[in-house]
Structure 1
């Protein structure tokens, strides 16, 4: 029996994926800036808007260079955090970068990056411990659960793609 090559997605599916990425990138910029303004950022042009644009552009290329996008996203968020208070709007583009990178063969490195970010966040938020320990624990455990969920979803997605593209593919199991 001849071995078949992996089936390439139809053009309409590839175009739809590009449109989805474009919409996600645009929404990232709009929502990140809106959240920054709503949470008290007084001058969004100094850091919030450049970060929002950068994270939006990264979402456009996340499928092609998932690890690079993850590293650049986290580095940009760290840099932003050094110059300004970090509004919660960054969580979406970072989550998309984690999910996409977790679906690659480098999932262990994705986990290492995530744990490093989680440790940094836990240490950076230590000032909350004296004021509101339940909030600190909820924040830290919530980030840990989100990271675990993103890694799990990325692994599950990668497994489903491998299963679908195996010789015989989805069609063989449904006929």
Structure 2
């Protein structure tokens, strides 16, 4: 929450109160439920990101504000759904940022490739965490 608000203020948004603070609070509240309902929290976090981008201009990306939700959900057996949700969000993000394409191709590529790379890292980390938990469980069961 703090990083999101700080990034918004650093880019010159005059007042974070109309959209940024409520959005950050919603994401922060959702994080409290991520272990109990990881997929619900992911879907609601992604919906909050969409809603935020609809009502406010922001330098915020599309994936990183929901990174905790992606990481947690990727550690579940529903990792294919997590990837599908992330890819859908990336496609929308790339289309939404098309105005950058005509003005600054490198910035557009950094935006789209960076978001895709972050999604891949989050899903990979979630899979690695789940594999570690499974390994630890098998190791404790045999030991």
TM-score for both structures, normalised by structure 2: 0.91
The 3-state SS of whatever aligns with 1:88 is coil
- Superposed displacement of residue 135, structure 1: 1.3
- Kindly provide the CA deviation profile for residues 119-158 of structure 1, in whole angstroms up to 9, marking residues without a partner as x: 0010001111111111111211111111111111111110
- Report the counterpart of residue 117 of structure 1 in structure 2: 89
The one of 18, 21, 28 aligned to 1:46: 18
Which of 58, 61, 73 is equivalent to 2:45? 73
CA distance in 2: counterparts of 1:52 and 1:89, whole angstroms: 13
Q: Any unmatched runs of 5+ in structure 2?
A: none
Q: 1:107 to 1:117 in 2, by over 3 A?
A: same
2:105 aligned with 1:133: yes
Task: Find the aligned partners of 1:99 and 1:64 in 2 and give their Cα distance.
Answer: 14
Paired residues of 1:99 and 1:151 also in contact (CA < 8 A): yes
Asked if the contact 1:35/1:89 (under 8 Å) is kept, the reply is no
The alignment yields a C-alpha RMSD, in angstroms, of 1.8
Aligned to 1:11: none
User: Aligned residue for 2:59?
Assistant: 87
Q: Which residue is equivalent to 2:125?
A: 153
The alignment covers a number of residue pairs equal to: 143
Contact 1:103–1:154 (Cα < 8 Å) also in 2: yes
User: CA contact under 8 A between 2:62 and 2:115: conserved in structure 1?
Assistant: no
CA gap 1:171/1:89 in 2 versus in 1, 3 angstroms = farther
Q: CA deviation at 1:38?
A: 1.8
1:171 positional shift: 7.5
Q: For the structure 1 residues 169 and 93, does the alpha-carbon distance in structure 2 shift closer, same or farther, using more than 3 Å as the test? A: farther
Cα offset, 1:42, TM superposition: 2.2
State the shift of 1:70 in Å: 0.6
Larger Rg: 1
Q: How many Å apart are 1:33 and its aligned residue?
A: 1.9
